[in-house]
Structure formats: structure tokens, C-alpha cells
Structure 1
Amino acid sequence: MNVRDILKTAAVFFGWRSVFVIFTLLALRPVTAADAAASAPIPDTLPQRMAACTACHGDHGEGAADSRFFPRLAGKPASYLARQLHYFQSGQRRYAPMQYITKPLSPAYMREMAEYFSVQQVPYKSSPVPTLPTAVLQRGEQIVMQGNPSAKLPACQSCHGKQLTGVEPNIPGLVGLPYDYVSSQLGSWRTGTRASAAPDCMAQIANRLSPDDITAVSAWLASRQPPADTHAQVAGSVNPPLACGVLGAKGDGA
């Protein structure tokens, strides 16, 4: 296990403060020739600055292969990514490591980070899918593609695009996301630890989903292979069925 793996594991299981303990211990150990070589000046490049992100989200934002909770950033709309960084910074979206990382960042820097990951083109990683009855996956497919009118649930694809690759500038893709990440985020909207601009349509939807619905939707999405074209659809290509604060007056995020 390398230093990156140690820091990532510490942040997830023991909290972000544990990372500082590890840094302190590393700093106190005897200096070796390898340490001296490693102390050479680090180039000030944008990829180098993104190291705090890529330690968990993959070298190019492709998502961590060994984790079910660190999502893909690559190729997502820049405005969506920048908005999420702002939400972490303001506490509107709560996750201690991300809140700590974003605290000192300027809006311009967060936008620069978002644009960097939005143009990354890397293959999608597959993630584990729980073994569930076929009927559960079929239920997930129905909700995602057709919705559930009796529960006032619109189809996921009505906002996230027919191919579920997202819509510019503020609607993220759902393909390629791990089961645990999707289910945890829907749970976060239900509990209020994740929120968006009012009216928060995703909070409304998450609270209309039953726990079984969340399992079905998360599993079906995680089981999907990405389409040939994974780019987000152009702005205005969907007609959202709910009023969403992130989409603005035009309904397309502009």
C-alpha cells in the first residue's frame, strides 16, 4: 500500500484529522536518500494541483477502482462540478474531507478545477453490482426510464438525458456510477446532508422513493454499460418535468 492509499483509507474510515497524524509521523521519520531525491521542486502544473482530487477520484477523474463511494468526475459538465465544489464549501453538501479541501478555494480556482475534469476523456470503470432478483432490476429500469406516476416520480432520463449521460450545463450523467454511491447520495438527499438550489427537485424525488426503489434504481444504473457517446447532451435538449433551482428560469441551467 502506497502513501496515497494510506491517506485515502484514513480519510474514509477514520476521518480527515487522521490524515494530519499520518503526515506528522511521516515528517518525523529519518530522512533517507530517497527522501532527498523526492524533495526536488514539484512543477506547478494544473494536474499536479489536482493531486488532492485524484488521490480519491482517480488519476484523470475516472473514479477509484477500489472504492464504491468516490464517483467519476471525468466528462461531467464543468458548471455541475463547480457548483458541487461550492456546495461543499458552503456546507450545503456535507462530507468532511471535501468541506476541508474546498474551504480555502476561490470561486475562480474551483471553476478551473471543474473545467479540468470536464474535458478528461478516459474509459469508464465497472463497479460491483449486488446480486438481486431480476424483478428488482426491472423495477429499477422502469423508474429510471419511465418513472412511477402513482408515486409522482418522473423518469430519471427525463432530466439526465435519454442515454443518462447528463445535460449541459448543470445536470450530471448517471452512467458509470457505483451502486453504493448512487444509493448513498439518494439517502443524503432524504436526510438533508445533500441539498441543491431551491426548489430542490432531487430532494423531492428522493423523498418519494421508497428504500426498495432506491435499491432498484441504484442497482440498475450500476449495471448499465456506458453508451458509445458519453458526452452530456446539449443545453435545452430535455424538458424537465419539475421545477429545479439549478436549472434556472429557462429550465436548462442557463
Structure 2
Amino acid sequence: MAQRTAACTGCHGEQGRAASDGYYPRIAGKPAGYLYNQLVNFREGRRTYPMMVYMVSHLSDDYLQAMADHFASQHPPYPPPQPLQVSPAQLARGRQLALDGDRKADVPACVACHGKALTGMAPAIPGLLGLPRDYLSGQFGAWKNGTRHAAQPDCMAALATRLSVEDISAVSAWLSQQPVPADARAVSDSAATLPLECGSVAQARKAGRP
């Protein structure tokens, strides 16, 4: 499978550890259910990055699951966060959104779904640490403007519409600056009650994916 996924590592880095250009995300160690869902989303048009769509458009469910399992099993070390020029006020707002949310805006905290350590929650919720700011803000923007979709109900699309551009920038900056624990792993908590109903999580739970 390492040889078969060589095309993936051309952008996502060796073992899926992420490239250094600040956009392609780390896929190593993400929950297999999450990775599988994203590959299916590209194949079925819910995500539209042309290179990914081309690569997976003719692959079967079983093949996509094998790819997901492969990258989920990889755990290379994380690099330190890349330094940013960000104001203390912006970081403070990002921290508030990530750890406490914003009740007035009906925005739950990131930790409510992505785990207390923000390292993800199996079977289908990815970790948010170790991702570059450009990628994080780009994905929020894609959900906000309707170019990225997931299985309905699409919880992240609903959440993104409640966030201002300034809040997206703040939370993306704060998340990108957090160091990743040496033993970072997604929490196995398939029965956790989430603050929003998420179709992707429900699908992964039903399928019994890890």
C-alpha cells in the first residue's frame, strides 16, 4: 500500500506527514473513518479539489478504505508550529473559540467534537493540531462559501456560517500555534454525544469504522 499511495505522498509528504508549503494537510494518524469519508467525498463531488477528484474518481470503496487504513496507521513526529505574526487579542479570541466556544453566536467549542486535547475523536473526527493556518482557514472558507460539503447534516458547514471572517482567522491562527503532544492520538469515543448532529460521524459509526 505504501507503493500504491506514492501519488498521495507527493503532496501530503512522506507517510502523509504533510508538506511544508502550508496548504496540504497532514493525513498521517487521522482516524481511518475520517480519511475514508474524505476520499468518498472527493469521489462523489462533495469536495472538488481537481487533483484529488481525478485520483479517486474510479477507485472502489474497498480500495479507499485500504488507503485510509494505511495512512491512519502512520504516526511520524510532528514538526514544531510555524511562527506567525498574530496579535495577542487575536490569539485570545481564537483560544476562546477553540476551548469555550461562543454561546451568543451558537458556536460550540472545538474541543466539544475534536477531543479535549484537539487530537481528534474516532471514528470520524480529525485532530486539529499540527495543521497550518492557511489550510485551516481555507477549509473554514470552503464550508462557509459552499464549496466543501459532507454527508448531511453537514455540521461543519452549519458551524462555519455562524463564524465571522475575523473569528475564522483567529481560531485558525490559535490552533496552528499549538504544539502537538508526542503521543498524540485520536480519542476512541464512538458513543460521545456531540453538540451538533454530523452525518459523517453517523455514517462512520454505522459502518463500524475505526
TM-score per shorter chain, which class? over 0.9
Higher CA-based Rg: 1
* Partner residue of 1:170 out of 124, 140, 145: 124
Q: Supply the distance in 2 between the matched residues of 1:156 and 1:111 (Cα, whole angstroms).
A: 27
Equivalent in the alignment of 1:49:
4
- After the TM superposition, which parts of structure 1 deviate over 2 Å for at least 4 consecutive aligned residues? 125-130, 235-239, 249-254
Most deviating of 123-132 and 174-183:
123-132
CA RMSD of aligned residues (A): 1.8
Tell whether 2:80 aligns with 1:126: yes
Q: Which amino acid aligns with 2:144?
A: R
How many residue pairs get aligned? The number is 208
Q: Which amino acid aligns with 2:67?
A: M
Deviations 1:69-109 (A, max 9, x none): 10001100011101100000111011001000111211111
Between the two proteins, what is the percent identity of the paired residues? 47
CA shift for structure 1 position 130: 2.9
Question: Which one has more relative contact order, counting CA pairs under 8 Å at least 6 apart?
Answer: 2
CA shift for structure 1 position 132: 1.3
Structure 1 contact 137–220 (Cα < 8 Å) conserved: yes
Most deviating of 73-82 and 120-129:
120-129
Equivalent in the alignment of 1:70:
24
Deviations 1:109-162 (A, max 9, x none): 111010000000101123534311101001000000000001000000000000
Tell whether 2:141 aligns with 1:187: yes
Tell whether 2:166 aligns with 1:221: no
Tell whether 2:151 aligns with 1:197: yes
Q: 1:184 to 1:97 in 2, by over 3 A?
A: same
Deviations 1:162-209 (A, max 9, x none): 000101100000000000000000000011111111111100110101
Structure 1 contact 179–219 (Cα < 8 Å) conserved: yes
Q: Supply the distance in 2 between the matched residues of 1:253 and 1:124 (Cα, whole angstroms).
A: 30
CA shift for structure 1 position 248: 1.8
